[in-house]
Amino acid sequence: MGRLARLLVLIVVGGAIGTFIIFSLQSQITSTTPTAAQATIVAGILTLLGIVFSAVYKEISSFYQQTIANDDKKWALLFPWIHGYYYPWITAAKNFQASLNGMKAKSDLSDDDINDLLYYFMLFYGCRIRFLREAGGLILLSSVREGNAVEAIYHERVEPALDWEGSSTHKYISYLQNFYMTHMTTQPADDGGDGGPHPPPSAGKDPQVKPVKPVKPTSFSYMFFQFKGDIEKDAGLKEVKTSLASSAWARDKTQRTKGADSLGDFALRFEKGIEKLYSAWG
């Protein structure tokens, strides 16, 4: 029997017993009943009611303590996901949307425009693959329905709206995701030096030598200017850029607008799901 069911049983049974005793004793205790006997009966009734109410109070207290403890465990599980995977992905979608919206009026995109789009393609889909690889990719929100709604927008609207090369798009996206995972997910922490790897200080040397801090993961350590400089150095990126620049998708304002709208809806639905998650555990 669950805790809530036990609580309801205690309340119903305790109330029924107390009501029965009180009404049954009305016919038993009269003005001729000795005072000592009346006092004994009343004391017994009060003791019984006290036991019942004490049990109800303890059950209520335990119920809320267990609920709070369960919520704390859920929050401890999901907060790292929200901070480390959900928000970076939402931010990438918003930035991608803003980039596309800034090109709405353009029929022909410049080389810098293509570089900008390529970067946000990498960033958006890179956040996706990082979430898949490191956390399984299952979107957990306040309910299964909320998570499925976000997934549905991603698969049914965002992916088709950002498809610029048909069946070849997946190959190019995979390359961008691999580039993301090898260039954006780690960055040496600032240890006051050049950030490069150093061996730990040996025994017997100056104990004041500051040890090297570990590499810290981050989702936004690889900046656009670095990416732009690497395009000409990387044959794979050049191929993806050529495909994107020559695609009908890049020249079609309607298609770009559709992509921007789908990204905005994805980010909004995701944010609303997280807001419901906060409200459910608030």
Q: Per-10-residue mean pLDDT for the chain, 282 residues long?
A: 65 70 63 68 73 74 71 75 93 96 91 96 95 92 92 97 95 95 62 38 42 41 86 94 95 95 97 86 58
Q: Do residues 97 and 263 make contact, with C-beta atoms less than 8 angstroms apart?
A: yes
Measure the CA–CA gap between 147 and 38, rounded to whole angstroms: 63
Measure the CA–CA gap between 179 and 186, rounded to whole angstroms: 12
pLDDT single digits (tens) 42-54: 777 778 777 777 7
3-state helix, strand, coil in the chain (%, to 5): 70, 0, 25
Average pLDDT, rounded, for the chain: 80
Amino acid at 281: W
Nearest to 3, CA basis, from 71, 68, 62: 62
What are the start-end ranges of the E strands in 198-275?
A: 216-217
pLDDT single digits (tens) 228-260: 999 989 999 999 999 999 999 999 999 999 999
Measure the CA–CA gap between 180 and 132, rounded to whole angstroms: 13
pTM score: 0.68
